[in-house]
Amino acid sequence: MLIRISRTLQIDERDLEESFVTASGPGGQNVNKVSSAVLLRFNLGANTTLPEALKNRLATLAGSRLTKEGVINIQAEQFRSQLANREDARDRLFALIIEASIVPKTRRPTKPTKGSKTRRLDEKSKRGEIKRQRRGGDEG
């Protein structure tokens, strides 16, 4: 089954793997009994629905969350409910994919204008003149 992320992007649900673990931190007796934290694993390497260029940008954006096997790990334990953490993990993955789908603009180098060159050189001359005036004069 395909999960729609945006109008043009979708991923196969088989590329997602969820496991539930006990959350860390405070939570009273509940924290030791209930596996409310979610570890979402997205197999980027095996994914066939996303374009290759997007997968490369996604790998870069994932950073340390990407394993050597090409799997993105997202852990969600913000909420006390397993369902809310599951939604949070999926939303974070989808936000990462959408961010990677934005193609960065290529930088076109520009040359400085004649006016900016003139202003820069004038300013340099003024600073040099100020420093020359400081040097001149009676020395002690």
**Which of 93, 17, 40, 37 lies closest to 62, judged by CA?**
93
pLDDT at 77 over 80: yes
Residue ranges of the domains in the chain? 2-101
Q: Does domain 2-101 correspond to CATH entry 3.30.365.10?
A: no
d(CA 1, CA 5): 13
Q: What is the mean pLDDT of residues 3-17?
A: 80
Q: Spell out where 13-112 has E strands.
A: 16-21, 37-43, 71-76
Find tokens 């088989």 and name the residue: 14
Tens digit of each residue's pLDDT (9 = 90 or more) over 80-134: 788 888 899 999 998 998 888 888 899 899 999 999 999 999 999 999 999 999 9
